[in-house]
């Protein structure tokens, strides 16, 4: 009898352990499935589920973007600006079109150039719309929607400079020059000018323009929209466009002149939504919008 009872107790314990094992396995599988579902849901997030597209720019890169003190010409409030400042420019105008087409509200953050990509990578912002070229190097860090502009590369010099009559980059040899830090203009284009005395990069676009305006350098390298805006602010500057001289011009690939919108890697939903709108626009549409931005740009940086 005792042996029989002992056998029953042993069987009961085995059944209990089996039940626990089944429960544990089921729980583990459920947890794994939940984690996979969560990861999948996170991968599909656009960042604008709240209906607000948060973008970042320098707000100091005329005509792409700038700071102003009021909401004239459709300017948008700068998030967390203690002075109640507003952002405007080509990037803001384009962002408003993208938001209007998708039924989103627009929010603009002001960040330094080097902080733009890290901000979209960490999810602080949804997109970088700041006049950035769609380079292969940047494409390693972010995905790009666009282009939303095609920008020819040019130089700027003083009208009375000895380089003002240059018709090719070879005629800029011996001159001192600079451009903006972290741009293809500084990293790729200026080194193509043999004999040029390349100075330290300027921290931002206003500093770059002041370098040539003040005579600190003989010329700077930039893109056509920036140059067009600059000659309005500084009438004594001259644009050197070598695009007609294919044998003596900057060698630039599409990635150097195509301006795109930086997005978090894998954010295909947002990328597709933006490209759907941009795909309906032509180069002429981009240029007309840029002309509007240049027309209303402030005389000096805000």
CATH annotation of 52-150+258-296: 3.40.190.10
Region of residue 209 (left: phi > 0; alpha: psi -120 to 50; beta: else): alpha
Q: Identify the pLDDT of residue 47.
A: 79
pLDDT the model gives residue 36:
39
The DSSP string of 140-195 is TTSEEEEEEEE--EEEEEETTSTTTT--SGGGGTT-EEE-BTTSHIIIIIGGGSTT
pLDDT along the chain (302 residues), means of 10: 44 43 42 40 68 97 96 97 97 98 97 96 97 94 98 97 98 98 95 98 95 98 96 96 94 92 97 97 97 89 42
* Predicted pLDDT of residue 299: 75
Using DSSP's 3-state secondary structure scheme, residue 200 falls into coil
User: Is omega for the bond preceding 63 within 30 degrees of 0, making it cis?
Assistant: yes
CATH of domain 153-242: 3.40.190.10
Q: Could you say which DSSP state residue 62 is in?
A: T
Give Cα 137 to chain centroid, integer Å: 13
On whether the CB atoms of residues 225 and 290 are closer than 8 A, the answer is yes
Residue burial 32-60, b: 16+ Cβ < 10 Å; e: rest: eeeeeeeeeeeeeebbbeeeebbbbbbbb
Q: 250 by DSSP, 3-state: which?
A: coil
State whether residue 210 is helix, strand or coil. helix
Amino acid 44: pLDDT: 52
Residue 183, token pair as written in the block: 């741009």
Pairing of strands 86-88, 197-198: unpaired
- Using CB atoms within 10 A of its CB, is residue 1 exposed (0-12), middle (13-18) or buried (19+)? exposed
Predicted confidence at residue 20, as pLDDT, reads: 43
Closest among 82, 291, 251 to 169, alpha carbons compared:
251
Q: Helix axis angle, 205-213 relative to 224-233, nearest 10°?
A: 60
CA distance 179 to 65: 18
* Region(s) of the chain under CATH 3.40.190.10: 52-150+258-296, 153-242
> Does residue 209 contact residue 66 with C-beta atoms inside 8 Å?
no
Residue count of the chain = 302
Quick one: how far is CA 181 from the chain centroid?
14
Sequence-separated (6 or more) residues with CB below 8 Å from residue 199: 176, 177, 178, 211, 216, 217
């Amino acid at each position: 009898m005792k042996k029989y009872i002992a056998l029953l107790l042993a069987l009961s314990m085995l059944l209990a352990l089996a039940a626990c094992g089944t429960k544990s396995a089921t729980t583990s599988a459920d947890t794994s499935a939940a984690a996979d579902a969560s990861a999948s849901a996170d991968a599909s997030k656009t960042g604008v589920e709240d209906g607000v597209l948060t973008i970042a720019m320098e707000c100091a890169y005329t005509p792409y973007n700038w700071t102003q003190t009021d909401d004239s010409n459709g300017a948008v409030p700068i998030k967390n600006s203690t002075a109640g400042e507003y952002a405007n420019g080509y990037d803001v105008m384009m962002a408003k079109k993208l938001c209007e087409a998708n039924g989103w509200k627009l929010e603009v953050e002001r960040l330094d150039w080097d902080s733009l990509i890290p901000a979209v990578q960490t999810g602080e912002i949804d997109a970088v719309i700041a006049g950035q070229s769609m380079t292969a190097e940047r494409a390693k860090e972010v995905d790009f929607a666009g282009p939303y502009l095609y920008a020819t590369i040019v130089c700027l010099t003083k009208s009375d400079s000895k380089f003002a009559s240059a018709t090719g980059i070879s005629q800029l040899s011996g001159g001192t020059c600079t451009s903006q830090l972290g741009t293809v203009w500084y990293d790729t284009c200026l080194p193509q000018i043999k004999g040029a005395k390349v100075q330290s990069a300027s921290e931002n676009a206003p500093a770059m323009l002041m370098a040539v305006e003040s005579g600190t350098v003989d010329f700077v390298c930039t893109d056509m929209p920036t140059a067009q805006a600059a000659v309005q602010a500084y009438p004594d500057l001259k644009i050197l466009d070598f695009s007609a001289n294919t044998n003596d011009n900057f060698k630039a690939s599409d990635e150097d002149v195509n301006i795109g919108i930086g997005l978090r890697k894998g954010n295909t939903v947002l990328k597709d939504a933006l490209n759907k709108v941009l795909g309906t626009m032509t180069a002429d549409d981009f240029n007309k919008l840029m002309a509007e931005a240049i027309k209303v740009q402030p005389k000096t940086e805000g």
